[in-house]
Chain A
Amino acid sequence: MVRYLIACGRVLSSLRLTVVLLGLGMVLIFFGTLDQVHLGIHAAQAKYFRSLFVLWQPAGIGWSIPIFPGGYLIGTLLFLNLVAAHGTRFKPTPKKIGIFTIHAGVVVLLLGELLTGLFAKESMMRMDIGTAQNYSEAPRETELAIIDTSSKDDDLVVAIPESLLAHANVIQHPALPFMLKIVKFMANTALAMRSQVPNAPPSLATTGIGTNVVATEIPRTVKQDERDLTTVFVQINTVEGPLGTWLVSNALGMPQSFSYDGHNYELRMRQKRYYKPFTIKLLDFRHDIYPGTDIPKNFSSRIRLIDSRQKEDRNVLIYMNSPLRYSGYTFYQAGFDNNDKTSILQVVKNPTFILPYIACGLVGAGLLTQFSMHLVGFLRRRRP
């Protein structure tokens, strides 16, 4: 057993493995980049780089076959290879302090990417001038929000993520006095009013606006500037029997409501929300151009940051390359809309954002140390 582990360790620390892994990484990047055309950047990232294996699902089969190591596997093996190499082949001598520092930087870089992939969250805040918001929205993930609006003071939200709706047949939760049956889930749809599609098949919806809407499933969008319009037919079942089947979609402009057991509920399919303990109000948005031209000079949002917990109430100017960093979030000026009346902020929460900086610092310091030592040695040798 011990001999077997030592053999494994020897393979793990070998330079050949490094070369093979780097080669596999290059092939992965090549095919992953090509497949972006078909999948879009986010799906390609998930399939090739943020996975243990690249999976292939043959037509007509319900399961997938791993056909190539994914980014996480190659990255992890590279990480182990480097650590193992230091445990066996590299001897920590003062002469190699630069090499060690460079490798430490590479390890931090690999870990940083892994942690970013696992923990970083990107979302958007889309605000009209004069409006305030205490949540951001995921650009691609959706959720079904069932909102109990009965209380005078606040709303109770039960948010069911798209990933659950896609696979679950029945959803029950202690916060809901009824059970949801997912009649049909469509990841992306084209919706039209029934009056425009006279011969469309009957709707699965028995109540709400869905009875007047025809939902046609279409392939998920791979365009970077588009998002899917997710549509779900959901039946609400109570102890007394079903209340009806609703069509819910993030394409619908308004929530649908129903009452049960003395409570009023709203059903709303929407982009996944991330609530914050503070509020941002958009005071003004500026889209400056160079005089006499249409060339943009500056985009900026003047916002008011209100955080009653921290007694924070101040105005902040967010503009290109000058984000607001607050409470672990970074708010970037990402776009605008609606004839410059709407500003779009990108909200990034990445607890490990500092790691790439540390990694670059370590690699830079290591290179500087190593080259300086070589230079000093060279100069010494040249002295008569």
Chain B
Amino acid sequence: MRLIRLSGQALAAALALFCFPGCDNSKIEVYRVEKEQDSQSAQISEAPGGASGGSVTWQAPADWEEQPSSGPRRGTFKIRGQNGGEAELSITAFPGDVGGLLANINRWRGQIQLPPMAEPDLAQVVTLLSGSSGNMLFVDIVSADSSKGGQKSRILGGILPLDAETWFFKLSGPDEIVAARKDEFKKFLETVKAEATPLLATSAEKSGSNTNAPTPPVLATTTAQPDYKAPPGWIAQPLSPMRLASFKITGSNGAEADVSLVSLAGMAGGDLANINRWRDQLKLPPLSEHDLASVSSHVNINGHDFLVTDLVSAEPLPPLNRKVRIVAAAAHKGEQTWFVKMTGDVDLVGTQKNHFLDFLRSLSLAGATGRDESSAQ
């Protein structure tokens, strides 16, 4: 009986542990927290007047009074006039182009009771600000009559379109105060710096390798993407962490080919290694350095030196039991090597070769930074 009692107690204790309510991870939690300060803002604000809104930083004059901000508003400053009165600088960021430049200018015009303007007239109020980083557009609009308290209103704006979001710096208030600060505001806009932080999360930075904190997998970024134009008949496929572009081509006889655009860090093994890797995929024997010129040529496209190769398997290959052809191009840019590769049915790839070259010509690697991968396609 003693044994039964002991066993029963132990079992009850074990079951109680398994059923302990504290291990429920599916509970909705509700709590109040202090308003969050932007971490980067806190970091940079140790320098007087400096602030930041994530990917964008700026340096405000000392007499601009910083106010708390939240939501899409990334910064707020109160600017006092000499004879009383005040203007407000708001810094906001929104995804996309928020309707475009004209819509945004007309929104601001509406705020100071001005009628909407047409696109051809934009140049009257918008100028490209020289000296600023990026493409900061400077806007200056003033109300037609005394709309507020017997005074004209003025809006000075800076619009910074980034790849996936648009930043607005709007100084609004009585014309007298805002106009007096025009040069100061322009100087402020020149301090605005946009870092290449994309809207979508990307891989951990290279310097962050010494951490055991899990980092997001490598993703397609918004700023690092190359521009290109897909030829007709190339059907875009969903991207993978590896592929920056992916297409499927289907021939009239049902034959298929696959096109991929991939970027790898460094030299990715070098030209010979890459060509031998593709040859291996076609069950062709490897080549030596001396033979490289016989199967590849260098083509200059848009200022990039592409090594282009055209390989055909000697035998029909599974699964289709047809000969397979690879047309591939590789170019080194900065610390990256870019690969464009078309693989598929020998006849279909042959007919698509001109389209492949058109795709290379449309490909702009300017500003594209690619991604850091350890494996090759």
Binding site for B on A (CB under 8 A): 5-6, 8-9, 12-13, 52, 72, 76, 79-80, 83-84, 87-88, 114-115, 118-119, 124, 126-135, 139-141, 149, 153-161, 163-164, 171, 173, 175, 188, 190-193, 196-200, 208-209, 212-214, 216, 218, 221, 223-229, 250-257, 264, 266, 275, 296, 299, 334-340, 342, 344, 346
Nearest B residue to A274 by beta-carbon distance? B29
B39 in contact with A133 (CB, 8 Å) = yes
Contacts of B241 in A (CB 8 A): 190, 218
Binding site for A on B (CB under 8 A): 2-4, 6-7, 10-11, 14, 17-18, 20, 22-23, 25-37, 39-40, 42-44, 46, 54-55, 70-72, 93, 95-96, 163-165, 197-201, 204-205, 207-208, 210-217, 219-220, 222, 225, 230, 235-236, 238-241, 244-245
Nearest B residue to A192 by beta-carbon distance? B220
B28 in contact with A159 (CB, 8 Å) = yes
Query: Which of B18, B96, B216 has the largest number of chain A CB atoms within 10 A?
Result: B216
Contacts of B3 in A (CB 8 A): 6, 9, 13, 84, 87-88
Closest Cβ of chain A to B1, distance in Å, is: 8
B200 in contact with A337 (CB, 8 Å) = no
Closest Cβ of chain B to A42, distance in Å, is: 9
Asked, given contacts A83-B10, A129-B43, A251-B200, whether A335 binds B2 with beta carbons under 8 Å apart, the answer is: no
Nearest A residue to B238 by beta-carbon distance? A216
B217 in contact with A221 (CB, 8 Å) = yes
Q: A5-B4, A335-B210 are in contact. List 16 more A-B contacts (CB 8 A).
A: A9-B4, A9-B7, A72-B18, A83-B10, A118-B22, A127-B39, A128-B43, A153-B35, A155-B33, A158-B28, A197-B236, A212-B164, A226-B214, A252-B199, A253-B198, A254-B95
A193 in contact with B222 (CB, 8 Å) = yes
Closest Cβ of chain B to A373, distance in Å, is: 26
How many residue pairs at the A-B interface have CB separations less than 8 Å?
Answer: 241
Nearest B residue to A154 by beta-carbon distance? B32
Asked, given contacts A140-B214, A157-B32, A229-B217, whether A338 binds B201 with beta carbons under 8 Å apart, the answer is: no
CA of A212 to CA of B164, assembled, Å = 9
A266 in contact with B205 (CB, 8 Å) = no
Contacts of B93 in A (CB 8 A): 254
Closest Cβ of chain B to A171, distance in Å, is: 8
B240 in contact with A216 (CB, 8 Å) = yes
Nearest B residue to A172 by beta-carbon distance? B28
Q: Would you mind naming 11 contact pairs between A and B with Cβ atoms under 8 Å apart? A: A87-B3, A129-B43, A131-B42, A132-B37, A153-B34, A159-B28, A173-B30, A193-B220, A196-B225, A197-B239, A229-B219
B42 in contact with A130 (CB, 8 Å) = yes
Which of A164, A254, A336, A337 contacts B26 (CB under 8 A)? A164
Contacts of A114 in B (CB 8 A): 14, 17
Contacts of B4 in A (CB 8 A): 5-6, 9
Which of B20, B32, B71, B210 contacts A266 (CB under 8 A)? B71
Contacts of A134 in B (CB 8 A): 33-34
A253 in contact with B210 (CB, 8 Å) = no
B211 in contact with A344 (CB, 8 Å) = yes
Closest Cβ of chain A to B288, distance in Å, is: 36
A154 in contact with B35 (CB, 8 Å) = yes
Which of A140, A156, A257, A342 contacts B72 (CB under 8 A)? A257
Nearest B residue to A201 by beta-carbon distance? B238
Closest Cβ of chain B to A193, distance in Å, is: 5
A275 in contact with B31 (CB, 8 Å) = yes
CA of A338 to CA of B213, assembled, Å = 13
Closest Cβ of chain A to B166, distance in Å, is: 12
B214 in contact with A163 (CB, 8 Å) = no
Contacts of A141 in B (CB 8 A): 25
Nearest B residue to A85 by beta-carbon distance? B3
CA of A123 to CA of B327, assembled, Å = 48
